[in-house]
Amino acid sequence: MTAANKPLSAEDSLIARYFKPLATDPGAFNLDDDAAALKGAGEDIVVTTDAIVEGVHFLPNDPPDTLARKALRVNLSDIAAKGATPAGFVLTLALRGADEAWLKPFAEALGADAAHYGCPLLGGDTVSTPGPLMISITAFGRVPQGKMIHRSGAKAGDRVVVTGTIGDAALGLDVLKGGVAAGALVADAGARDALAARYRVPQPRNALALAVREHASAAMDVSDGLAGDLAKLCAASGVSAIIDVPSVPLSQPASALVARKVVGFDALITGGDDYELLCAIPDNRLASFTSAARRAGIAVTAIGGIIAGSSPPSFLDGQGRELTLQRLSYSHF
Amino acid sequence: MTAANKPLSAEDSLIARYFKPLATDPGAFNLDDDAAALKGAGEDIVVTTDAIVEGVHFLPNDPPDTLARKALRVNLSDIAAKGATPAGFVLTLALRGADEAWLKPFAEALGADAAHYGCPLLGGDTVSTPGPLMISITAFGRVPQGKMIHRSGAKAGDRVVVTGTIGDAALGLDVLKGGVAAGALVADAGARDALAARYRVPQPRNALALAVREHASAAMDVSDGLAGDLAKLCAASGVSAIIDVPSVPLSQPASALVARKVVGFDALITGGDDYELLCAIPDNRLASFTSAARRAGIAVTAIGGIIAGSSPPSFLDGQGRELTLQRLSYSHF
């Protein structure tokens, strides 16, 4: 009595063909069971979940391979920020239909990332939807018992450190939508492509997870904008912060757009989709953390300090004047 | 540069108000962090994920409280079938908007079920969508290491046992859609309501999970129809089965509709949404399993036996003739 247009095997064979090769972990049971098993090893299992929706978190014409990578990487970024080692993920895919020309590159890219980050597919659910494509991933990591790094835990005197560069993904989205950055970079395809790639394919900092676990008093990833995410970290920790805005690391294209006044610093630190790590590092751990980051090949930059207090973080320009931000970060509703 | 219509606090405060009360596990960190932690206790963590989509898995006018229960219970049913004890879940909610008249009863019912089944909310993601409402849950259970019950493992000679009654949910959907069952039951509001309730609010058999773990050689839940799900269990186990169709347990309304020839047995055993357990029980364990079920207050019925072979399961009528099934179960594509 429920709708059924095709025989049993259609959905199953589709899943088998494209997703079984990704289920490399013995606990995935080759996707032949109703559930997966994460082996008990005395460690805590860190669990995070992030969904991306067509037209909301990605553009309808984003290619399937970058979507696959983005969907997994936004979760890997959370795993890294918590100081955990990836252990696997489950995938829920809501599709309008079983378009193999879309599924094949999606699954291949997902598999390549799963292998690269050591985060195998454990299971999932494929459902049909009349609406926008949605990719929901729940990812797992392992940490020694009680060693997950929290948003709370930052102390006055800690340094505020970020990885990589901030604001590129927001500029990349603007480029893809034909906004001001696209106009300003009309003659520079290299910069446009670099920024768009930062939006489409985040670079989660899992190589730094162990250093985060060893040295950070608090950490999270920057997904909704540096300003808003720092405000969340401070609120969870019961502290405030002062950020030296000129210290915030920018890529060359972002820096040039700021210099040309195409965009303001405020747009970059509230833009979102950076998937860099934001950490509070005790002063006496900063050198060790920086060394570990260098060994991991990940740039880290101290951009300010944690202070006592409950006011929102202050963002100071080169003259020590506070930036007024129109909004702190992205909000869905 | 990403869209942002409202300040930071709107989404956060919404989540806080309705979902924080459900995050009763210490590993949920009061939903204030980017991730949850499942405490390592030397056990395996069983992971399952199931999503339901408006217009596909539920009706647009299904009430929010029954949706919440169904979304969680379809996952709890998998946890039970694997012989695991519920440990918690994460929720991804794709909403068109933050309608508090919908969210409040949804969260309250979800919280009531989470408490009843001992399966607390650990975290989640709330995203906006221009499309249909979608509720995706990843649920966790615990089993002693290596003790998860699989689809594979059924052996020739095992008895095939199901819990509860089969086919009510498919009839309930038919009633809600105004189909043949609705017509035949026009004068019997009690039967209509009972069947609709079976569709809207599954009764997962978590009280039987320990007995499944102790006695079943293979198990799964019946979500896509008894015939198709038994075929899956047999294929995973490398066996076949013979089912005595008149033994398949039916509720009083379902039984009456079959007697009146309003629906055939085939529609009931291929209908789906039962969320009963389907188990292969070694013959010498059947008495113990049945006793455990009686103590748990859950009806169980032996409906056939596992045989050697690789052919699809046979469904025999009262005269020993094989039923021809138009389709085995629900398929999305």
pTM: 0.92
Its domain, for residue A254, covers 159-316
Mean pLDDT of A212-220: 98
The answer on A299 and A171 residing in a single domain is: yes
The closest CB to that of A51, out of B4, B127, B228, belongs to B127
Task: Give the mean pLDDT of chain A.
Answer: 92
- Work out the minimum CA distance from B326 to partner chain A, whole angstroms: 9
Judge whether A4 lies within some domain. Answer: no
Judge whether A196 lies within some domain. Answer: yes
Number of domains in chain A: 2
Position A97 pLDDT exceeds 90: no
The answer on B304 and B187 residing in a single domain is: yes
Mean pLDDT of B143-161: 97
The closest CB to that of A11, out of B49, B152, B333, belongs to B333
The answer on B311 and B172 residing in a single domain is: yes
The answer on A184 and A52 residing in a single domain is: no
Query: Of A116, A143, A170, which marks where a domain is finished?
Result: A143
Q: pLDDT band for position A199 (50/70/90)?
A: very high
Chain A residue with minimum CA distance to B59: A2
Q: What's the pLDDT at A10? A: 63
CB spacing of B36 vs A14 below 8 angstroms: no
The closest CB to that of B124, out of A49, A145, A174, belongs to A49
The answer on B133 and B23 residing in a single domain is: yes
The answer on A311 and A165 residing in a single domain is: yes
CB spacing of A332 vs B150 below 8 angstroms: no
Q: What's the pLDDT at A332? A: 43
CATH number of domain containing B196 = 3.90.650.10
Mean pLDDT of A90-97: 92
Closest CA to B141 of B223, B67, B237, B210: B210
The answer on B69 and B207 residing in a single domain is: no
Q: pLDDT band for position B302 (50/70/90)?
A: very high
Q: Is A55 exposed, middle or buried (0-12, 13-18, 19+ CB in 10 A)?
A: middle
Mean pLDDT of B30-52: 92
The answer on B186 and B75 residing in a single domain is: no
The answer on B312 and B208 residing in a single domain is: yes
Residues in chain A closer than 8 A to B44 (CB atoms): 27, 37-40
Q: What's the pLDDT at B301? A: 98
Residues in chain B closer than 8 A to A257 (CB atoms): none
The closest CB to that of B92, out of A29, A128, A136, belongs to A136
The answer on A306 and A200 residing in a single domain is: yes
Q: Best mutation site among A142, A168, A233, A333 for testing chain B: the one with the most B CBs within 10 Å?
A: A333
Residues in chain A closer than 8 A to B228 (CB atoms): 8
Percent of chain A with pLDDT over 90: 83
Angle at B290 between CA B286 and CA B292, to 5 degrees: 120
CB spacing of B151 vs A55 below 8 angstroms: no
B55-85 pLDDT, tens digit each: 988 888 899 999 999 999 999 999 999 999 9
Chain B residue with minimum CA distance to A48: B35
Chain A residue with minimum CA distance to B271: A1
The closest CB to that of A129, out of B34, B35, B131, belongs to B131
Judge whether B311 lies within some domain. Answer: yes
Q: What's the pLDDT at B57? A: 87
Query: Of B143, B176, B198, which marks where a domain is finished?
Result: B143
CB spacing of B1 vs A124 below 8 angstroms: no
Judge whether B331 lies within some domain. Answer: no
Query: Of A82, A116, A143, which marks where a domain is finished?
Result: A143
The answer on A298 and A170 residing in a single domain is: yes
CB spacing of B123 vs A47 below 8 angstroms: yes
Judge whether A289 lies within some domain. Answer: yes
Residues in chain B closer than 8 A to A327 (CB atoms): 4, 7-8
Contact present, B158 and B285 (Cβ < 8 Å): no
Judge whether A257 lies within some domain. Answer: yes
- Work out the minimum CA distance from A253 to partner chain B, whole angstroms: 16
CB spacing of A34 vs B220 below 8 angstroms: yes
Secondary structure of chain A in the HEC alphabet?
A: CCCCCCCCHHHHHHHHHHHHHHCCCHHHHHHCCCCEEECCCCCEEEEEEEEEEECCCECCCCCHHHHHHHHHHHHHHHHHHCCCEEEEEEEEEEECCCCHHHHHHHHHHHHHHHHHCCCCEEEEEEEECCCCCEEEEEEEEEECCCCCCCCCCCCCCCEEEEECCCCHHHHHHHHHCCCHHHHHCCCCHHHHHHHHHHHHCCCCCHHHHHHHHHHCCEEEEECCCHHHHHHHHHHHHCCEEEEEHHHCCCCHHHHHHHHCCCCCHHHHHCCCCCCEEEEEECHHHHHHHHHHHHHHCCCEEEEEEEECCCCCCEEECCCCCECCCCCCCCCCC
The answer on B136 and B29 residing in a single domain is: yes
Q: What's the pLDDT at B97? A: 82
CB spacing of B98 vs A126 below 8 angstroms: no
Residue B35 CA to residue A87 CA, distance in Å, equals: 14
Judge whether A260 lies within some domain. Answer: yes
Judge whether A3 lies within some domain. Answer: no
B193-250 pLDDT, tens digit each: 999 999 999 999 999 999 999 999 999 999 999 999 999 999 999 999 999 999 999 9
Q: pLDDT band for position A13 (50/70/90)?
A: confident
The closest CB to that of B128, out of A29, A79, A332, belongs to A332
Q: Best mutation site among A46, A275, A332 for testing chain B: the one with the most B CBs within 10 Å?
A: A332
CATH number of domain containing A46 = 3.30.1330.10
Chain B residue with minimum CA distance to A266: B1
Position A230 pLDDT exceeds 90: yes
CB spacing of A90 vs B138 below 8 angstroms: yes
Q: Say which range, A21-25, B201-205, B274-278, has the weakest mean pLDDT.
A: A21-25
